[in-house]
Protein backbone atom coordinates (compact mmCIF):
# COMPACT_ATOMS: atom_id res chain seq x y z
CA UNK A 1 0.00 0.00 0.00
CA UNK A 2 1.40 3.39 -0.85
CA UNK A 3 1.60 5.70 2.11
CA UNK A 4 -0.98 8.45 2.26
CA UNK A 5 0.54 11.86 1.91
CA UNK A 6 -0.55 13.92 4.84
CA UNK A 7 0.97 16.62 6.97
CA UNK A 8 2.43 15.56 10.25
CA UNK A 9 -0.19 16.29 12.85
CA UNK A 10 1.95 18.72 14.90
CA UNK A 11 -0.94 20.83 16.10
CA UNK A 12 -2.79 17.74 17.16
CA UNK A 13 0.21 16.42 19.06
CA UNK A 14 0.85 19.78 20.74
CA UNK A 15 -2.73 19.96 21.93
CA UNK A 16 -2.62 16.40 23.15
CA UNK A 17 0.62 16.91 25.07
CA UNK A 18 -0.92 19.85 26.90
CA UNK A 19 -3.96 17.70 27.70
CA UNK A 20 -1.68 14.91 28.82
CA UNK A 21 0.25 17.10 31.25
CA UNK A 22 -2.99 18.33 32.80
CA UNK A 23 -4.37 14.79 33.00
CA UNK A 24 -1.25 13.49 34.69
CA UNK A 25 -1.25 16.39 37.13
CA UNK A 26 -4.87 15.67 38.01
CA UNK A 27 -4.21 11.98 38.45
CA UNK A 28 -1.20 12.70 40.65
CA UNK A 29 -3.21 14.99 42.93
CA UNK A 30 -6.16 12.61 43.18
CA UNK A 31 -3.88 9.67 43.94
CA UNK A 32 -2.09 11.68 46.56
CA UNK A 33 -5.29 12.34 48.47
CA UNK A 34 -6.64 8.84 47.95
CA UNK A 35 -3.55 7.40 49.56
CA UNK A 36 -3.88 9.85 52.43
CA UNK A 37 -7.27 8.29 53.09
CA UNK A 38 -5.79 4.82 53.46
CA UNK A 39 -5.09 3.95 57.08
CA UNK A 40 -1.49 3.77 58.30
CA UNK A 41 1.70 5.21 56.87
CA UNK A 42 5.24 4.07 56.14
CA UNK A 43 6.39 4.89 59.66
CA UNK A 44 3.78 2.65 61.21
CA UNK A 45 4.55 -0.16 58.80
CA UNK A 46 8.27 0.08 59.55
CA UNK A 47 7.71 0.33 63.28
CA UNK A 48 5.36 -2.62 63.13
CA UNK A 49 8.03 -4.70 61.45
CA UNK A 50 10.60 -3.54 63.97
CA UNK A 51 8.22 -4.67 66.71
CA UNK A 52 7.93 -1.34 68.49
CA UNK A 53 5.09 1.08 68.89
CA UNK A 54 7.21 3.60 70.70
CA UNK A 55 5.76 7.05 70.09
CA UNK A 56 9.14 8.76 70.00
CA UNK A 57 10.48 6.29 67.43
CA UNK A 58 7.42 6.83 65.26
CA UNK A 59 7.69 10.60 65.48
CA UNK A 60 11.34 10.35 64.52
CA UNK A 61 10.59 8.26 61.46
CA UNK A 62 7.78 10.59 60.43
CA UNK A 63 10.05 13.61 60.70
CA UNK A 64 12.69 11.82 58.67
CA UNK A 65 10.19 10.97 55.89
CA UNK A 66 8.57 14.40 55.96
CA UNK A 67 5.32 12.88 57.11
CA UNK A 68 4.93 15.42 59.90
CA UNK A 69 4.65 18.35 57.51
CA UNK A 70 1.23 19.82 56.65
CA UNK A 71 -0.61 18.02 53.87
CA UNK A 72 -0.41 20.81 51.33
CA UNK A 73 3.34 21.01 51.86
CA UNK A 74 3.72 17.28 51.30
CA UNK A 75 1.64 17.61 48.12
CA UNK A 76 3.75 20.51 46.88
CA UNK A 77 6.95 18.57 47.54
CA UNK A 78 5.54 15.57 45.73
CA UNK A 79 4.48 17.60 42.69
CA UNK A 80 7.81 19.40 42.56
CA UNK A 81 9.58 16.08 42.52
CA UNK A 82 7.50 14.80 39.66
CA UNK A 83 8.07 17.99 37.71
CA UNK A 84 11.84 17.69 38.15
CA UNK A 85 11.87 13.94 37.51
CA UNK A 86 13.46 13.50 40.90
CA UNK A 87 11.16 10.97 42.46
CA UNK A 88 12.95 10.82 45.78
CA UNK A 89 14.08 7.98 47.89
CA UNK A 90 12.49 4.77 49.08
CA UNK A 91 13.35 4.16 52.70
CA UNK A 92 12.22 0.59 52.43
CA UNK A 93 14.61 -0.35 49.71
CA UNK A 94 17.28 2.18 50.55
CA UNK A 95 17.50 3.25 46.90
CA UNK A 96 16.32 6.18 44.84
CA UNK A 97 12.90 5.52 43.42
CA UNK A 98 14.06 6.11 39.85
CA UNK A 99 16.74 3.46 40.24
CA UNK A 100 14.17 1.06 41.64
CA UNK A 101 11.67 1.69 38.89
CA UNK A 102 14.26 1.59 36.13
CA UNK A 103 15.60 -1.72 37.41
CA UNK A 104 12.10 -3.23 37.38
CA UNK A 105 10.79 -1.67 34.18
CA UNK A 106 12.55 -3.94 31.65
CA UNK A 107 11.05 -7.09 33.17
CA UNK A 108 7.56 -5.63 32.97
CA UNK A 109 8.02 -4.29 29.45
CA UNK A 110 9.33 -7.66 28.30
CA UNK A 111 6.39 -9.46 29.86
CA UNK A 112 3.97 -6.95 28.39
CA UNK A 113 5.38 -7.00 24.87
CA UNK A 114 5.55 -10.78 24.76
CA UNK A 115 2.11 -11.43 26.15
CA UNK A 116 0.40 -8.81 24.02
CA UNK A 117 2.10 -10.00 20.84
CA UNK A 118 1.12 -13.59 21.58
CA UNK A 119 -2.44 -12.53 22.37
CA UNK A 120 -2.64 -10.42 19.21
CA UNK A 121 -1.37 -13.11 16.87
CA UNK A 122 -3.57 -15.85 18.27
CA UNK A 123 -6.52 -13.56 18.93
CA UNK A 124 -6.57 -12.29 15.35
CA UNK A 125 -6.17 -15.80 13.97
CA UNK A 126 -8.96 -17.09 16.21
CA UNK A 127 -11.26 -14.14 15.65
CA UNK A 128 -10.91 -14.19 11.87
CA UNK A 129 -11.33 -17.95 11.70
CA UNK A 130 -14.40 -17.88 13.95
CA UNK A 131 -16.02 -15.18 11.82
CA UNK A 132 -15.26 -17.00 8.58
CA UNK A 133 -16.84 -20.17 9.96
CA UNK A 134 -19.67 -18.35 11.68
CA UNK A 135 -21.90 -20.75 13.63
CA UNK A 136 -19.98 -23.75 12.38
CA UNK A 137 -17.66 -26.02 14.35
CA UNK A 138 -14.49 -23.86 14.31
CA UNK A 139 -16.51 -20.86 15.44
CA UNK A 140 -18.14 -22.79 18.24
CA UNK A 141 -14.84 -24.24 19.48
CA UNK A 142 -13.05 -20.92 19.38
CA UNK A 143 -15.91 -19.09 21.05
CA UNK A 144 -15.99 -21.72 23.79
CA UNK A 145 -12.24 -21.46 24.39
CA UNK A 146 -12.46 -17.68 24.43
CA UNK A 147 -15.29 -17.82 26.93
CA UNK A 148 -13.33 -20.18 29.18
CA UNK A 149 -10.27 -17.95 29.15
CA UNK A 150 -12.45 -14.96 29.74
CA UNK A 151 -14.21 -16.49 32.71
CA UNK A 152 -11.14 -17.96 34.40
CA UNK A 153 -9.19 -15.67 36.75
CA UNK A 154 -5.64 -15.18 35.46
CA UNK A 155 -4.03 -16.12 38.76
CA UNK A 156 -5.77 -19.47 38.62
CA UNK A 157 -4.59 -20.03 35.05
CA UNK A 158 -1.12 -19.11 36.28
CA UNK A 159 -1.24 -21.62 39.12
CA UNK A 160 -2.48 -24.34 36.79
CA UNK A 161 0.30 -23.55 34.33
CA UNK A 162 2.85 -23.91 37.10
CA UNK A 163 1.27 -27.14 38.22
CA UNK A 164 1.20 -28.66 34.74
CA UNK A 165 4.30 -27.29 33.03
CA UNK A 166 6.62 -26.80 35.98
CA UNK A 167 5.66 -29.34 38.60
CA UNK A 168 4.39 -32.23 36.46
CA UNK A 169 6.20 -31.83 33.19
CA UNK A 170 9.20 -29.93 34.47
CA UNK A 171 9.44 -27.92 31.24
CA UNK A 172 9.68 -24.48 32.77
CA UNK A 173 10.80 -22.96 36.07
CA UNK A 174 8.13 -22.05 38.59
CA UNK A 175 9.09 -18.43 38.84
CA UNK A 176 11.67 -15.69 38.64
CA UNK A 177 13.29 -14.23 35.54
CA UNK A 178 16.65 -15.99 35.37
CA UNK A 179 18.59 -18.78 37.02
CA UNK A 180 21.41 -17.71 39.30
CA UNK A 181 23.68 -20.14 37.52
CA UNK A 182 22.73 -19.01 34.04
CA UNK A 183 25.19 -16.89 32.06
CA UNK A 184 24.40 -13.21 31.89
CA UNK A 185 24.39 -12.67 28.16
CA UNK A 186 24.63 -14.51 24.88
CA UNK A 187 22.32 -17.11 23.46
CA UNK A 188 22.25 -19.10 26.69
CA UNK A 189 21.24 -16.02 28.68
CA UNK A 190 18.45 -15.18 26.26
CA UNK A 191 17.28 -18.76 26.31
CA UNK A 192 17.25 -18.75 30.08
CA UNK A 193 15.07 -15.66 30.21
CA UNK A 194 12.78 -17.07 27.52
CA UNK A 195 12.29 -20.22 29.60
CA UNK A 196 11.28 -18.14 32.59
CA UNK A 197 9.17 -15.84 30.47
CA UNK A 198 7.07 -18.52 28.78
CA UNK A 199 4.56 -19.28 31.52
CA UNK A 200 3.88 -15.76 32.82
CA UNK A 201 3.65 -14.44 29.26
CA UNK A 202 1.19 -17.16 28.26
CA UNK A 203 -0.86 -16.63 31.40
CA UNK A 204 -1.11 -12.92 30.77
CA UNK A 205 -1.69 -13.56 27.04
CA UNK A 206 -4.64 -15.86 27.71
CA UNK A 207 -6.29 -13.09 29.63
CA UNK A 208 -6.04 -10.71 26.66
CA UNK A 209 -6.59 -13.43 24.11
CA UNK A 210 -10.19 -13.95 25.13
CA UNK A 211 -11.01 -10.28 24.68
CA UNK A 212 -9.10 -9.91 21.42
CA UNK A 213 -10.73 -12.97 19.90
CA UNK A 214 -14.21 -11.74 20.70
CA UNK A 215 -13.48 -8.25 19.42
CA UNK A 216 -11.99 -9.45 16.15
CA UNK A 217 -14.78 -11.95 15.61
CA UNK A 218 -17.49 -9.35 16.16
CA UNK A 219 -15.74 -6.82 13.93
CA UNK A 220 -15.13 -9.34 11.17
CA UNK A 221 -18.73 -10.53 11.20
CA UNK A 222 -19.86 -6.99 10.66
CA UNK A 223 -17.37 -6.20 7.92
CA UNK A 224 -17.67 -9.50 6.03
CA UNK A 225 -21.29 -8.74 5.22
CA UNK A 226 -20.47 -5.38 3.62
CA UNK A 227 -20.70 -4.64 -0.07
CA UNK A 228 -17.02 -4.01 -0.65
CA UNK A 229 -16.22 -7.53 0.50
CA UNK A 230 -18.45 -8.89 -2.26
CA UNK A 231 -16.77 -6.52 -4.70
CA UNK A 232 -13.39 -7.85 -3.58
CA UNK A 233 -14.57 -11.41 -4.17
CA UNK A 234 -15.83 -10.42 -7.61
CA UNK A 235 -12.23 -9.48 -8.47
CA UNK A 236 -11.19 -13.10 -8.09
CA UNK A 237 -8.93 -12.67 -5.09
CA UNK A 238 -8.56 -15.49 -2.57
CA UNK A 239 -10.73 -15.89 0.50
CA UNK A 240 -7.58 -15.63 2.59
CA UNK A 241 -6.79 -12.26 1.12
CA UNK A 242 -10.38 -11.10 1.38
CA UNK A 243 -10.37 -11.93 5.09
CA UNK A 244 -6.93 -10.78 6.17
CA UNK A 245 -6.47 -7.84 3.86
CA UNK A 246 -9.85 -6.42 2.98
CA UNK A 247 -11.91 -7.26 6.05
CA UNK A 248 -9.44 -7.38 8.93
CA UNK A 249 -8.04 -3.93 8.35
CA UNK A 250 -11.56 -2.54 8.65
CA UNK A 251 -12.46 -4.69 11.62
CA UNK A 252 -9.39 -3.99 13.68
CA UNK A 253 -9.98 -0.47 15.02
CA UNK A 254 -11.76 -1.50 18.24
CA UNK A 255 -8.92 -3.92 18.85
CA UNK A 256 -6.38 -1.12 18.54
CA UNK A 257 -8.23 0.82 21.22
CA UNK A 258 -8.30 -2.12 23.60
CA UNK A 259 -4.68 -3.04 23.01
CA UNK A 260 -3.81 0.57 23.74
CA UNK A 261 -5.73 0.37 27.00
CA UNK A 262 -4.01 -2.90 27.89
CA UNK A 263 -0.58 -1.45 27.22
CA UNK A 264 -1.44 1.66 29.20
CA UNK A 265 -2.76 -0.38 32.08
CA UNK A 266 0.00 -2.92 32.08
CA UNK A 267 2.12 -1.48 34.90
CA UNK A 268 -0.68 -2.17 37.32
CA UNK A 269 -2.49 -4.83 35.36
CA UNK A 270 0.11 -7.55 35.64
CA UNK A 271 0.29 -7.53 39.43
CA UNK A 272 -1.34 -10.92 39.76
CA UNK A 273 0.74 -12.58 37.09
CA UNK A 274 3.95 -11.06 38.36
CA UNK A 275 3.12 -12.17 41.88
CA UNK A 276 2.19 -15.72 40.95
CA UNK A 277 5.40 -16.15 38.96
CA UNK A 278 7.63 -13.97 41.18
CA UNK A 279 8.36 -11.94 38.09
CA UNK A 280 10.58 -9.03 39.14
CA UNK A 281 8.49 -6.32 37.52
CA UNK A 282 6.79 -3.06 38.35
CA UNK A 283 3.52 -4.72 39.30
CA UNK A 284 5.09 -6.58 42.18
CA UNK A 285 7.08 -3.54 43.21
CA UNK A 286 3.81 -1.63 43.41
CA UNK A 287 2.13 -4.39 45.34
CA UNK A 288 4.95 -4.48 47.88
CA UNK A 289 4.99 -0.70 48.13
CA UNK A 290 1.31 -0.81 48.99
CA UNK A 291 1.73 -3.42 51.71
CA UNK A 292 4.58 -1.46 53.19
CA UNK A 293 2.88 1.92 52.96
CA UNK A 294 5.82 3.18 50.94
CA UNK A 295 3.65 5.99 49.67
CA UNK A 296 6.39 7.81 47.83
CA UNK A 297 7.21 4.77 45.79
CA UNK A 298 3.56 3.87 45.29
CA UNK A 299 2.66 7.38 44.14
CA UNK A 300 5.58 7.45 41.76
CA UNK A 301 4.51 4.19 40.18
CA UNK A 302 0.91 5.38 39.93
CA UNK A 303 1.99 8.56 38.21
CA UNK A 304 4.26 6.60 35.90
CA UNK A 305 1.28 4.38 35.08
CA UNK A 306 -0.80 7.38 34.20
CA UNK A 307 1.98 8.63 31.94
CA UNK A 308 1.89 5.21 30.29
CA UNK A 309 -1.86 5.36 29.79
CA UNK A 310 -1.68 8.82 28.30
CA UNK A 311 1.13 7.86 25.93
CA UNK A 312 -0.68 4.69 24.88
CA UNK A 313 -3.86 6.66 24.17
CA UNK A 314 -1.96 9.20 22.12
CA UNK A 315 -0.33 6.37 20.18
CA UNK A 316 -3.74 4.83 19.51
CA UNK A 317 -5.08 8.14 18.23
CA UNK A 318 -2.10 8.51 15.92
CA UNK A 319 -2.34 4.94 14.63
CA UNK A 320 -6.07 5.15 13.87
CA UNK A 321 -5.86 7.27 10.71
CA UNK A 322 -2.94 5.20 9.46
CA UNK A 323 -5.10 2.09 9.61
CA UNK A 324 -8.26 3.75 8.42
CA UNK A 325 -7.91 6.94 6.38
CA UNK A 326 -11.52 7.94 6.95
CA UNK A 327 -10.59 8.73 10.55
CA UNK A 328 -9.29 12.26 10.89
CA UNK A 329 -7.22 13.71 13.70
CA UNK A 330 -8.93 16.49 15.54
Partner 1 sequence: MSAPLLSIADLKVRIRGNPQARLLRGVSLSIDRGETLAVVGESGCGKSLTSLAVMGLLPDGLEKSGGVIRFDGADLPVTDNEAMRKVRGRRIGMVFQEPMAALNPVFSIGDQVAEVIHEHEAVSHAAAMARVVDLLTQVQLPEPARIIHEYPHRLSGGQRQRVVIAMALACRPDLLIADEPTTALDVTVQAQIMRLLHDLQDDMGIAILLITHNLGLVAQMADRVAVMYAGRKVEEATTRMLFAAPQHPYTRGLLAATPRPGRRRPGEPPLTEIPGVVPAITEMPSGCRFRPRCMLASDICALEDPPFVDGVACHRAVSRELVP
Query: 196 or 246, CB closer to partner 1?
Result: 246
| Minimum CB distance to partner 1, residue 216 (Å) | 16
Number of amino acids touching partner 1 (CB under 8 A): 25
| Minimum CB distance to partner 1, residue 38 (Å) | 48
Q: What is d(CA 53, CA 48) in angstroms, rounded to the nearest whole number?
A: 7
> Which residue from 20, 47, 232, 312 is in contact with partner 1, where contact means CB under 8 A?
232
Which residues in 209-228 contact partner 1 (CB under 8 A)? Answer: 226-228
Q: What is d(CA 40, CA 90) in angstroms, rounded to the nearest whole number?
A: 17
Instruction: Name the β-bridge partners of 90.
Output: 95
> Which residue from 26, 238, 240, 291 is in contact with partner 1, where contact means CB under 8 A?
238
181 to 124, 189, 199: CA distances (angstroms): 38, 10, 20
Residue 153 three-state SS:
coil
Which residues in 239-268 contact partner 1 (CB under 8 A)? Answer: 239, 246, 249-250
Query: 162 or 220, CB closer to partner 1?
Result: 220
Query: 38 or 231, CB closer to partner 1?
Result: 231
Which residues in 176-195 contact partner 1 (CB under 8 A)? Answer: none
Helix residue ranges, H only, 186-226: 186-224
Do 184 and 287 meet the contact criterion of CB atoms below 8 Å apart?
no
Q: What is d(CA 172, CA 161) in angstroms, rounded to the nearest whole number?
A: 10
DSSP string of 251-262? H-HHHHHHHHHH
Site residues (CB under 8 A) for partner 1?
1-2, 4-5, 134, 226-228, 230-239, 246, 249-250, 323-326
Amino acid sequence: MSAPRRNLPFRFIGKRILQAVLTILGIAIINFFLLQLAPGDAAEALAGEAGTADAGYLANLRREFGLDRPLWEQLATFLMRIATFNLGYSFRYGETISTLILSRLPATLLLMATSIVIALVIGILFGVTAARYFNRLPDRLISLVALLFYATPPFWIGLMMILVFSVWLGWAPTGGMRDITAPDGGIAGVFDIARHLALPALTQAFFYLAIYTRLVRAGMLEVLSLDYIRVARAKGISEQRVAYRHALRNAVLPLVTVVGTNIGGFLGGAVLTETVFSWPGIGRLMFDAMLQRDLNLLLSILVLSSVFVVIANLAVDLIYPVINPTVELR
